[in-house]
C-alpha cells in the first residue's frame, strides 16, 4: 500500500475499524448509545446550542428583526450601537442587527449548498473508487490533480469562469472541497469492503448496487457526518472570504462577509460595521467546529475512554 | 530528526532569503505618493490607462495648465493647416532622453510610427487620430502629422496626455515590445524599478533643463527620489498618510476627507474630466421604449447619491458634458435638468402611460405579463456599489426592480461589447467633446448601443470641423440630440481629492489634469 | 528506500500534466478576451481579430496546449499579456514574499501549536487542556480578513509598532504572519493533542512509565516522537497551501506576493500568468507533499518497508 500523506487520511484513519453497524440488527441500540454520549459531550452541546440559536434567528428573522434590513434611512446613517439600533447602522442607515439576522439565512444556505454539492459528488466518486478496483486508480489520480490546486485560488478561478454571485460562490466552494470527501469515503469503503459480512452478502448473490446501498453506505455515514459538519465551517469562511474579495454575493444582500467587505471603507468612522458581521461569522463557524469536534469524539470509539 | 536534515533545510532557506532584496532604503529626500492601482505597464503606448505612475517619466508635446490654457511641452509651438489635415509642431531644443539620446523630430516620428505598427498592438492609436496618413520630419526640430481627414482635436486631447509621450528612438528599436521593462523618457524623473504590487521608484533627472511655463522651477526637481506606493485598499492608504509614511495621497476616499482636513492635512480637489452615468442598453427590452428610459431618468434623485455614497464630493449633472470640457453649455444643462429632474410622481405617470401597471400588487410594475425588472452592472468599487444600491432603492419607489450585479472589469468590457448588459453604471473621462463620438457613433457605441444616422452625421462633422466656433455649435447639436434621445442618465461629476502632508510645499493640483502630478515646485 | 523515492517522484508527473490540462482549459473558459483587454474599448473588431491571431489565440486549443506545454517543460511560461515581462520572472519576484510569510507562519504556528497541544494532552481534562482547546477553536474559527483588520487597526495604526501595509522588510511581515499562524496554530494544537492522547494511552508508554522513567522523558522522548508523525503531515500540508499565497492576507496588507499576483492575473485575464502561477503553485504543493512523505518515512521506518 502506498503511503498517503494527506491530513484527512491521517485524521480519518480511525474509522477504518469502526464497529458501527457490523450487524444491522443492533443499529437502534447503537444509535441510542451514540445519542446518549453526544448529549454528555460538552463541546458538541455547546456547538449545538449556538447553531440552534442561529438557526432560530434565521428562521424567525422577519419576526425578530426590528427593521427591514434593506430599508435605507439616511437620517440614522452611521449611528453607533444604541437602544434603537443594537449593532448600529451602516452608511445607508440600514440596521446592522437586522442585517445580521437575515445574514444568518444566507450563511446557512451557503454552507448547506456547498457542502451538499461536495457531499453528493464526493460520495459517488468515493464509493466508486473504493468499491470498484478498476476505477480506483483513475479516480484517485483525478483527485490528486484536484487537490494539487490551491483551494481558494480554485474557488476564485471558478467564480471568474461562472461570474460572481451567491450561487456561483457556493458551487466554487463546493467544488474546491469535494476531493476531501472522495478520499474520506473511499477510505471508509475500503475498510468495510474486506469485512466478512460483505463477502457473505456477495456469496449469497447480492448485486453490487444492493451491497453498496445496504452495507457499504451505512458504514460511511459516521465519517461523512463529522466531515460535513467541519466542512460547513470551512465553507462559510471561504464564502465570506470570496465576498470579502467582492466575488461572492451581490449587494445589497446582507451576507456577513460582504458586510465586512463594505465596512472597510468606514473602518475609521464606524467600527461596528465590521465588528458585528465578523463576530457573527466567528460564532457560526465556532458552532459548527464545536459540534463537528464533539461528533468526532462520540463517533470515534477509540476516544471514548 | 537528524542534524543533517536540519542543516539542509537551513541552507535551502538561506539561499531563498539571500535572493530577496525588495527592500529599499527609505531616503529623507524621497517624495512618497500613494496610488490606487498598479499600472499594467509603463510603456504607455500599450495601456489604456495613464496616470501619474506612468506619466511622470515622460513629457507630452503640449501641456494644459491649471488655468485650462495650453502651454508648451516638448513642442514650443503648434499649428493646424487651413484644411485641417496637417499639424505642425516646432520642438524644444536641447532636451535629452535619460539615456543621453537627443530629443528631436526623428524621435517623434519613430515614437509615433511605433505606436501605429500592428506589432505594438497599441490600444490608444486613436489618440493620434484614426485617419493619420504619415509623420514627416521637416527638419531636426520640426515635425508634421498628415491626415486624410481634418483632425482638429489632436492638440486639445491626445497631445496633452501622456499617451503621446516621446520615446528615445535607438533604445526603442533595441527593446521593441520589451520597452516597458525599463522605460526611458525625457521627463523630470528616471525609472529605477517597478515591483509589481508594491511600488515604483524613480530618481531625479539631473539634466532636466526646463519646466512648465506656469511653474517657477525651470530645472531639475527639488527632491531626489519619487516613490509611488501601490496601495489598493482605501483604509490602508489613508492610515499610511496619517502615519506619515506617505506624503501625497492619490484617490482620497470621500469618507475620510473631512477628518484628514481636521487633522491638518492639505486637501486639494478638482473635478474629473468626465461624468458617471447610468446607461441603458437601448437594444434590449424594455429600454427600446424611450418612454421607459425617460421615466426612469426622472426617478433618480442625485443628491442622496452625492451626499451619502460620495460624501458630497461630486456635483450633480444632467447634460452630456461636464463644465470642464470646452463645449459645455449651461443652456443645455438646464434644459436637461428641466426634462429629467427628480420627479417620482411624474415618473410613475409616464410609466403608466407607457402601459406599465402593477396588476398583482407586488410593488413591481408589469407590462405584457413581464415585470419591470432588470440588472444594473457595477464594478468591484465600493462607491460605485453604494451608488448602485441607491439607484436600486430609488427606482423601487416608482415600481421597478433593479438587481445589482458586480462584474469584473474584463468581463464588463466583453459583456458590453456583446450587448449583454441591461443597464450599466459607467463613467467616461476626456478633454475634448470628441468623446461623445467615441461613445455614441454607430459601431462604437457598445455601452448604450444607441444608433442614429442623424447623430452619426453630426459626429463626423464635429470630428473634422476646423473652425472652433462651428465645432462648438455642432457639439451643442450633438448634446441636444442626446438629451432628447435619453440613452443614458448622466448622474454626477466626481471630484478627485488629493490629501497632502503639510510639510510638502509647492504642490498644486491641476484641475484640468488631475491624473498628472505637478511636481516642479514641490519641496520639503 | 531508493526505489520508493523514484516511484514517488515519477508519480508527480501525471499529476502535474493533469493540472496543466485543467488550468489550460479553465483559462480558456473564463469569459473576457485578452485581446480585447489589451486593445481597450475603442478598438475595432478587425484589430482585435488581428491581435488574437498574433497572440496565437485563434489556434485550435490542442495546438495551443501543446505549444504551452513544450515551452513550460523548458521553463518558459511565456510572457505576461499585460506587462509583457516573462511570467517566470514575475513569479520569482513575488515568491520571496510569499515563502517568507509561509515560512515564518509555519514556524510560529508549529511552536505555539505543539506546545499548546502537548500541554493539553499531558494535562488532559484539566483547565489547561480546556483553555488551550478553546483558544485553538477560536483560532480556527476566526475569519482571517477580520483578524487582519483588527490587528492592523490596533498594532499598526493605533500603536504604530508595525508598518500598516506594503512590503518593507521583516517588520512588515509580523502582522500577516500572526494572522496566518493563528489559524494554523489552532489546527496544529488540536491535532497534536489528539495524537498525543492516542500515543499516551498505548501499552509501550505505560511500560515505559512502569519501568520508572520520569514523566517528562516519557512524554518528550517516546510519546512526542510517535505523536509527531501525523502532525508532520499536517504541517507539511499547511505549508504547501500557504505557498499558494495567502490571498486574503496579502490583499489586506498589500503584500506583493503570489496570491495577489494570481488575483490580478485572473481579473486582467492575463492567461499566461494564470497558467504559470497555478502550475508553479501546484508543483510546489506536490513537491511539499513528497518531502513530507520522505520526512514521514524518516521518522517512522516501518513505512519505508511497505
Q: In this model, does residue C301 exceed pLDDT 80? A: no
Whole-number mean pLDDT of chain C?
Answer: 82
The reply to whether A161 touches chain C by the CB within 8 Å rule is yes
Q: In this model, does residue B1 exceed pLDDT 50? A: no
* Residue from the list B382, B388, B393 with its beta carbon closest to the beta carbon of A265: B382
Residue B83 in any domain: the answer is: yes
- Check B407 against A163: CB less than 8 A apart: yes
Taking the C-alpha atoms of residue B432 and residue B273, their distance in angstroms, rounded to an integer, is: 9
Worst-scoring range by mean pLDDT, B85-89, B282-286, B311-315, C37-41? C37-41
pLDDT in tens, B467-504: 889 999 999 999 999 999 999 999 999 988 999 999 99
Q: In this model, does residue B189 exceed pLDDT 80? A: yes
- B231/B160 same-domain check: yes
- Check A268 against B408: CB less than 8 A apart: no
B286 closest CA partner among B212, B194, B170, B395: B395
Residues B89 and B143: beta-carbon distance below 8 Å: yes
* Residue from the list B123, B195, B240 with its beta carbon closest to the beta carbon of C40: B123
Q: In this model, does residue B364 exceed pLDDT 80? A: yes
CB contact residues (below 8 A), chain A span 235-294, against chain B: 246-247, 250-252, 262, 264-269
For chain A, residues with pLDDT lower than 70 are: 1-28, 300-305
Phi/psi of residue B143, nearest 5 degrees:
-135, 145
Q: In this model, does residue C71 exceed pLDDT 70? A: yes
- H or E stretch at B45: none
Q: What is the distance in angstroms between the Cα of C296 and the nearest Cα belonging to chain A?
A: 8
Q: What local confidence, expressed as pLDDT, does residue A25 receive?
A: 45
Per CB-CB distance under 8 Å, the chain A contacts of B392 are: 252
Taking the C-alpha atoms of residue C20 and residue B35, their distance in angstroms, rounded to an integer, is: 35
Worst-scoring range by mean pLDDT, A133-137, B403-407, C175-179, C299-303? C299-303
What CA–CA distances, in Å, run from B520 to B33, B68, B213? 15, 18, 10
CATH of the domain at B228: 3.40.190.10
- B232/B354 same-domain check: no
Residue B393 in any domain: the answer is: yes
Q: What local confidence, expressed as pLDDT, does residue B381 receive?
A: 81
- B321/B191 same-domain check: no
Q: What local confidence, expressed as pLDDT, does residue A192 receive?
A: 79
3-state secondary structure B354-411: CCCECCCCCCCCEECCEECEEEEEECCCHHHHHHHHHHHHHHHHCCCEEEEEECCHHH
DSSP β-ladder status, B423-427 and B373-378? parallel
DSSP β-ladder status, B30-35 and B248-249? parallel
pLDDT in tens, C154-176: 888 788 888 887 887 888 899 99
Which chain C residue has the Cα nearest residue B435?
A: C42
Q: What local confidence, expressed as pLDDT, does residue A10 receive?
A: 42
Q: Which class would CATH give C91-305? A: mainly alpha
Cα B254 to its chain centre, rounded Å, is 18
C151 versus B48: which is more confidently predicted? C151
Q: What local confidence, expressed as pLDDT, does residue B223 receive?
A: 93
B15 versus A129: which is more confidently predicted? A129
- B332/B452 same-domain check: yes
Q: What local confidence, expressed as pLDDT, does residue A154 receive?
A: 80
Residue B82 in any domain: the answer is: yes
- B246/B372 same-domain check: no
Taking the C-alpha atoms of residue C35 and residue C56, their distance in angstroms, rounded to an integer, is: 10
Long-range own/partner contacts, residues A205-209 (CB < 8 A, 24 or more apart): A208/A131
Q: What local confidence, expressed as pLDDT, does residue B10 receive?
A: 56
Per CB-CB distance under 8 Å, the chain B contacts of A165 are: 405
- Quote the ipTM score: 0.77
- B279/B374 same-domain check: yes
- B152/B299 same-domain check: no
Measure the CA dihedral A39/A42/A43/A49, to 10°: 70
Residue B19 in any domain: the answer is: no
Query: Which of C146, C147, C186, C227 should one mutate to test binding to chain A, selecting the residue with the greatest count of A CBs within 10 A?
Result: C146
A131 contact partners, CB below 8 Å, separation of at least 6: A189, A193, A208, A212, A216
Once rounded to an integer, what is the mean pLDDT over residues B380-401?
91
pLDDT in tens, A254-271: 888 888 888 877 877 788
Q: What local confidence, expressed as pLDDT, does residue A16 receive?
A: 44
- State which residues form the domain around B417: 273-495
Chains in contact with chain A (at least 3 beta-carbon pairs closer than 8 A): B, C
- Check C237 against A281: CB less than 8 A apart: no
Q: What local confidence, expressed as pLDDT, does residue B14 receive?
A: 52
Phi/psi of residue A4, nearest 5 degrees:
-105, 115
Per CB-CB distance under 8 Å, the chain B contacts of C265 are: none
Once rounded to an integer, what is the mean pLDDT over residues C288-293?
80
Q: In this model, does residue B191 exceed pLDDT 60? A: yes
CATH of the domain at B369: 3.10.105.10
Cβ-based burial of B12 (10 A; exposed 0-12, middle 13-18, buried ≥19):
exposed
Residue B6 in any domain: the answer is: no
Q: How confident is the model at residue C8 (pLDDT cuts 50, 70, 90)?
A: confident
Which chain C residue has the Cα nearest residue A155?
A: C263
- B157/B218 same-domain check: yes
Chains in contact with chain B (at least 3 beta-carbon pairs closer than 8 A): A, C
Per CB-CB distance under 8 Å, the chain B contacts of A159 are: none
Q: How many domains does chain B fold into?
A: 2
For Cα atoms B56, B155, B319, give the angle at the middle one, nearest 5 degrees.
Answer: 95
Taking the C-alpha atoms of residue B278 and residue B63, their distance in angstroms, rounded to an integer, is: 32
* Residue from the list A247, A250, A266 with its beta carbon closest to the beta carbon of B405: A250
Query: Which of B231, B240, B242, B255 should one mutate to test binding to chain A, selecting the residue with the greatest count of A CBs within 10 A?
Result: B255
- B346/B459 same-domain check: yes
- B192/B335 same-domain check: no
Residue B16 in any domain: the answer is: no
Residues A20 and A33: beta-carbon distance below 8 Å: no
C248 contact partners, CB below 8 Å, separation of at least 6: A152, A241, A244, A245, C144, C145, C148, C259
Per CB-CB distance under 8 Å, the chain A contacts of C143 are: 237, 240-241, 244, 257, 260, 278, 281-282, 285
Structural domain boundaries of chain C? 17-72, 91-305
Measure the CA dihedral A250/A254/A255/A259, to 10°: 90
- B306/B408 same-domain check: yes
- Which domains, and CATH codes, for chain A? 41-70+84-303 (1.10.3720.10)
Residue B330 in any domain: the answer is: yes
- B209/B289 same-domain check: no
Q: What local confidence, expressed as pLDDT, does residue B13 receive?
A: 53
* Residue A82 backbone zone (phi > 0: left; psi -120 to 50: alpha; other: beta): beta
Q: What is the distance in angstroms between the Cα of C147 and the nearest Cα belonging to chain A?
A: 9
Give the percent of chain B with pLDDT over 90. 56
Taking the C-alpha atoms of residue A254 and residue A100, their distance in angstroms, rounded to an integer, is: 7
Amino acid at each position: 500500500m502506498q503511503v498517503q500523506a494527506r491530513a484527512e487520511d491521517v485524521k480519518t484513519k480511525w474509522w477504518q475499524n469502526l464497529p458501527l453497524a457490523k450487524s444491522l440488527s443492533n443499529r437502534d441500540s447503537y444509535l441510542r448509545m451514540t445519542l446518549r454520549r453526544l448529549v454528555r459531550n460538552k463541546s458538541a452541546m455547546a456547538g449545538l446550542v449556538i447553531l440552534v440559536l442561529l438557526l432560530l434567528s434565521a428562521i424567525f428573522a422577519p419576526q425578530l428583526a426590528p427593521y427591514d434590513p434593506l430599508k435605507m434611512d439616511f437620517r440614522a446613517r452611521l449611528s453607533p450601537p444604541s437602544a434603537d439600533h443594537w449593532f448600529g447602522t451602516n452608511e445607508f442607515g440600514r440596521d446592522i442587527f437586522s442585517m445580521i439576522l437575515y445574514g444568518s439565512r444566507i450563511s446557512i444556505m451557503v454552507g448547506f449548498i456547498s457542502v451538499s454539492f461536495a457531499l453528493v459528488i464526493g460520495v459517488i466518486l468515493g464509493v466508486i473508487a473504493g468499491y470498484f478496483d478498476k476505477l480506483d486508480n483513475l479516480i484517485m489520480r483525478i483527485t490528486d490533480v484536484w487537490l494539487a490546486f490551491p483551494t481558494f485560488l480554485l474557488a476564485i478561478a471558478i467564480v471568474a469562469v461562472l461570474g460572481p454571485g451567491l450561487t456561483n460562490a457556493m458551487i466554487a466552494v463546493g467544488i474546491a472541497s469535494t476531493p476531501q470527501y472522495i478520499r474520506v469515503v473511499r477510505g471508509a469503503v475500503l475498510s468495510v469492503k474486506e469485512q466478512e459480512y460483505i463477502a457473505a452478502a456477495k456469496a449469497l448473490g447480492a448485486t453490487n448496487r444492493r451491497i453498496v446501498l445496504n452495507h457499504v453506505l451505512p458504514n460511511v455515514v459516521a465519517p461523512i457526518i463529522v466531515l460535513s459538519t467541519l466542512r460547513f465551517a470551512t465553507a462559510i469562511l471561504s464564502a465570506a472570504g470570496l465576498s470579502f474579495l467582492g466575488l461572492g454575493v451581490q449587494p445589497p444582500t446582507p451576507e456577513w462577509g460582504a458586510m465586512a467587505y463594505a465596512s472597510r471603507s468606514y473602518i475609521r468612522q464606524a467600527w461596528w460595521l465590521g465588528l458585528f458581521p465578523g463576530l457573527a461569522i466567528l460564532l457560526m463557524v465556532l458552532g459548527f467546529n464545536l459540534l463537528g469536534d464533539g461528533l468526532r469524539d462520540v463517533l470515534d470509539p477509540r476516544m471514548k475512554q | 530528526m537528524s542534524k543533517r536534515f536540519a542543516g539542509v533545510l537551513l541552507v535551502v532557506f538561506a539561499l531563498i532569503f539571500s535572493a530577496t532584496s525588495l527592500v529599499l532604503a527609505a531616503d529623507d529626500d524621497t517624495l512618497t505618493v500613494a496610488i490606487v492601482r498598479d499600472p499594467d505597464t509603463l510603456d504607455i503606448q500599450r495601456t489604456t490607462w495613464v496616470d501619474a505612475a506612468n506619466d511622470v517619466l515622460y513629457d507630452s508635446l503640449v501641456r494644459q495648465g491649471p488655468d485650462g490654457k495650453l502651454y508648451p511641452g516638448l513642442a514650443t509651438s503648434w499649428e493646424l493647416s487651413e484644411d485641417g489635415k496637417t499639424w505642425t509642431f516646432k520642438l524644444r531644443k536641447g532636451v535629452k532622453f535619460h539615456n543621453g539620446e537627443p530629443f528631436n523630430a526623428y524621435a517623434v516620428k519613430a515614437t509615433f510610427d511605433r505606436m501605429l505598427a500592428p506589432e505594438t498592438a497599441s490600444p490608444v492609436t486613436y489618440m493620434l487620430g484614426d485617419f493619420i496618413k504619415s509623420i514627416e520630419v521637416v527638419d531636426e526640430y520640426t515635425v508634421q502629422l498628415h491626415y486624410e481627414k481634418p483632425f482638429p482635436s489632436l492638440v486639445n486631447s491626445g497631445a496633452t496626455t501622456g499617451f503621446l509621450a516621446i520615446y528615445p528612438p535607438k533604445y526603442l528599436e533595441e527593446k521593441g515590445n520589451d520597452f516597458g521593462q525599463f522605460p526611458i523618457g525625457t521627463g523630470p524623473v528616471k525609472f529605477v524599478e517597478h515591483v509589481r504590487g508594491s511600488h515604483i521608484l524613480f530618481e531625479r533627472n539631473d539634466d532636466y533643463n526646463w519646466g512648465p511655463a506656469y511653474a517657477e522651477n525651470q530645472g531639475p526637481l527639488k527632491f531626489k527620489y519619487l516613490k509611488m506606493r501601490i496601495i489598493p485598499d482605501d483604509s490602508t492608504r489613508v492610515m499610511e498618510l496619517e502615519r506619515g509614511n506617505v506624503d501625497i495621497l492619490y484617490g482620497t476616499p470621500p469618507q475620510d476627507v473631512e477628518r484628514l482636513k481636521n487633522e491638518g492635512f492639505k486637501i486639494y480637489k478638482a473635478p474629473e474630466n468626465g461624468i458617471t452615468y447610468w446607461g441603458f442598453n437601448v437594444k434590449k427590452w424594455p429600454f427600446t421604449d424611450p418612454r421607459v428610459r425617460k421615466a426612469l431618468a426622472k426617478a433618480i434623485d442625485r443628491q442622496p447619491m452625492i451626499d451619502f455614497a460620495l460624501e458630497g464630493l461630486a456635483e450633480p449633472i444632467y447634460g452630456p458634458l461636464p463644465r470642464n470640457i470646452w463645449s459645455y453649455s449651461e443652456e443645455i444643462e438646464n434644459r436637461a435638468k428641466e426634462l429629467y429632474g427628480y420627479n417620482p410622481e411624474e415618473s410613475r405617470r409616464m410609466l403608466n402611460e407607457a402601459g406599465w401597471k402593477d396588476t398583482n400588487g407586488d410593488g413591481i410594475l408589469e407590462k405584457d405579463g413581464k415585470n419591470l425588472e432588470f440588472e444594473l452592472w457595477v464594478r468591484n468599487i465600493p462607491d460605485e456599489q453604494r451608488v448602485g444600491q441607491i439607484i436600486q432603492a430609488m427606482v423601487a419607489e416608482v415600481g421597478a426592480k433593479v438587481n445589482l450585479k458586480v462584474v469584473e472589469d474584463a468581463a464588463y468590457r466583453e459583456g458590453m461589447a456583446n450587448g449583454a448588459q441591461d443597464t450599466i453604471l459607467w463613467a467616461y473621462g476626456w478633454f475634448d467633446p470628441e468623446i461623445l463620438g467615441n461613445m455614441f457613433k454607430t459601431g462604437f457605441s457598445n455601452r448604450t448601443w444607441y444608433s442614429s444616422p442623424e447623430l452619426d452625421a453630426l459626429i463626423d462633422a464635429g470630428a473634422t470641423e476646423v473652425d472652433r466656433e462651428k465645432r462648438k455649435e455642432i457639439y451643442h447639436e450633438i448634446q441636444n440630440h442626446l438629451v432628447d434621445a435619453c440613452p443614458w442618465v448622466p448622474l454626477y461629476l466626481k471630484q478627485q481629492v488629493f490629501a497632502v502632508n503639510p510639510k510638502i510645499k509647492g504642490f498644486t493640483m491641476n484641475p484640468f489634469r488631475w491624473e498628472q502630478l505637478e511636481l516642479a515646485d514641490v519641496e520639503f | 528506500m531508493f526505489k520508493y523515492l523514484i516511484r514517488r517522484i515519477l508519480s508527480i508527473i501525471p499529476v502535474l500534466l493533469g493540472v496543466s490540462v485543467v488550468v489550460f482549459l479553465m483559462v480558456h473558459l473564463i469569459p473576457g478576451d485578452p485581446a480585447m483587454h489589451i486593445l481597450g474599448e475603442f478598438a475595432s473588431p478587425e484589430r482585435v481579430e488581428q491581435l488574437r491571431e498574433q497572440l496565437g489565440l485563434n489556434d485550435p486549443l490542442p495546438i495551443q496546449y501543446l505549444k504551452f506545454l513544450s515551452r513550460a517543460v523548458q521553463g518558459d511560461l511565456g510572457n505576461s499579456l499585460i506587462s509583457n515581462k516573462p511570467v517566470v520572472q514575475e513569479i520569482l519576484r513575488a515568491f520571496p514574499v510569499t515563502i517568507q510569510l509561509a515560512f515564518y507562519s509555519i514556524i510560529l504556528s508549529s511552536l505555539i501549536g505543539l506546545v499548546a497541544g502537548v500541554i493539553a494532552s499531558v494535562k488532559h481534562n484539566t483547565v489547561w487542556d480546556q483553555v488551550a482547546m478553546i483558544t485553538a477553536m477560536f483560532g480556527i474559527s476566526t475569519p482571517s480578513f477580520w483578524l487582519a483588520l483588527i490587528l492592523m487597526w490596533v498594532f499598526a495604526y493605533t500603536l504604530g509598532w508595525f508598518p500598516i501595509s506594503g512590503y518593507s522588510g521583516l517588520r512588515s511581515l509580523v502582522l500577516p504572519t500572526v494572522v496566518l499562524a493563528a489559524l494554523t496554530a489552532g489546527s496544529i494544537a488540536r491535532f497534536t493533542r489528539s495524537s498525543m492522547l492516542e500515543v499516551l494511552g498505548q501499552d509501550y508508554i505505560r511500560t515505559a512509565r512502569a519501568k520508572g522513567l520520569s514523566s517528562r522523558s516519557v512524554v518528550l522522548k517516546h510519546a512526542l516522537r510517535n505523536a509527531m508523525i501525523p502532525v508532520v503531515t499536517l504541517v507539511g500540508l499547511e505549508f504547501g497551501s500557504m505557498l499558494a499565497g495567502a490571498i486574503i492576507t496579502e490583499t489586506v496588507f498589500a503584500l506583493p506576493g503570489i496570491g495577489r499576483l494570481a488575483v490580478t492575473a485572473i481579473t486582467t485575464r492575463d492567461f499566461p500568468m494564470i497558467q504559470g502561477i497555478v502550475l508553479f503553485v501546484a508543483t510546489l504543493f506536490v513537491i511539499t507533499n513528497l518531502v513530507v512523505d520522505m520526512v514521514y518515512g524518516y521518522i517512522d521506518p516501518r513505512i519505508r518497508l511497505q
